[in-house]
Amino acid sequence: MHFVRSSLTGLICLLSLVSGRPQAKPEHRVWTLRTVLRQLNNQAATFRTLSAEVQRTKVTVVVNDRSTESGMFYVLRDGKMRLNLTKPDPRTILRVGDTLYDYNPLISQVAEYNLAKHRELVDQFLLLGFGTSAKQLEKAYLISLGGEQTLDDRKSLVLDLTPKSEQVRNQIARIELWIDESGWLPLEQKFYEAGTQDYFTITYSNIVRNAALGSALFKPKWPKGTKKIKPQV
């Protein structure tokens, strides 16, 4: 299954990719939704860049099918983002402003998607990234605290998010965020698709917060002879 399709759900799959790494020993305390949001606020204020290995698994429940894609992910605080997929096939996804580029080296083609008409939808899912205040998150989602869980031997807090926007809920019914208590950055994101039992998860590893990322990494430059197309979304 490809990351980019000519559908909003496909774009959501791409725009939801952000995470971070543990930085300190977790505090031993009883957390409330208010204290969790306050801590996320503090961490967001210092976010500038991020690089990580990422893996996305799509689960189609009815036919019991699982498909996985993986690669390297890079993001800047201003919203620029790049995903270099390596498995199962090479592919590059790049977002700059309102344009999303999907470069396929196997066929020497890059698709350019204009996101301007879907800014509300795009911006809400980018709220799952960093540099976003708790106030902005609460404006976009109904938030509940699912309690403390262990994920990959790390203590995590689970936030359950329900989009307030009907447009967003038509694509994604709800989202679970697994937040590492030691670094206050997501370990995993789980998206439940609207109208089905299907879902996809995004997990992160080897994460570097505030890494030195060159500006060239986010420029839409492709090999000579690459064919350009502009699908509608």
Measured CA to CA, the distance from residue 71 to residue 92 in angstroms comes to 9
Written as six digits, the tokens of 98 are 């309102």
How sure is the predictor about 96, in pLDDT bands with cuts at 50, 70 and 90? very high
What confidence tens digit (pLDDT) does each residue in 18-50 have? 434 444 454 457 899 999 999 988 888 888 888
Domain 8-229 CATH class label? mainly beta
Looking at the whole model, is its pTM more than 0.95? no
pLDDT in tens, 69-95: 999 999 888 888 999 999 999 999 999
* Residue ranges covered by each domain of the chain: 8-229
In angstroms, the CA 124 to CA 164 distance is 10
User: What radius of gyration, in Å, describes the C-alpha atoms of the chain?
Assistant: 17
| pLDDT tens-digit map of 1-16 | 444 444 555 555 555 5
- Pick the closest to residue 33 from 150, 165, 179, 154 (CA basis): 179
Distance between CA atoms of residues 158 and 132, nearest Å? 18
147-191, pLDDT tens digit by residue? 888 888 888 899 999 999 898 899 899 999 988 888 787 889 999
Residue indicated by tokens 């690089």: 51
Whether the CB-CB separation of 169 and 193 falls below 8 Å is answered with no
Going edge to edge, which strands form the sheet with 109-114?
Answer: 141-151, 154-163, 172-180, 186-193, 199-209, 49-60, 65-76, 81-87, 91-96, 99-104, 109-114, 227-229
pLDDT over 70, % of the chain: 84
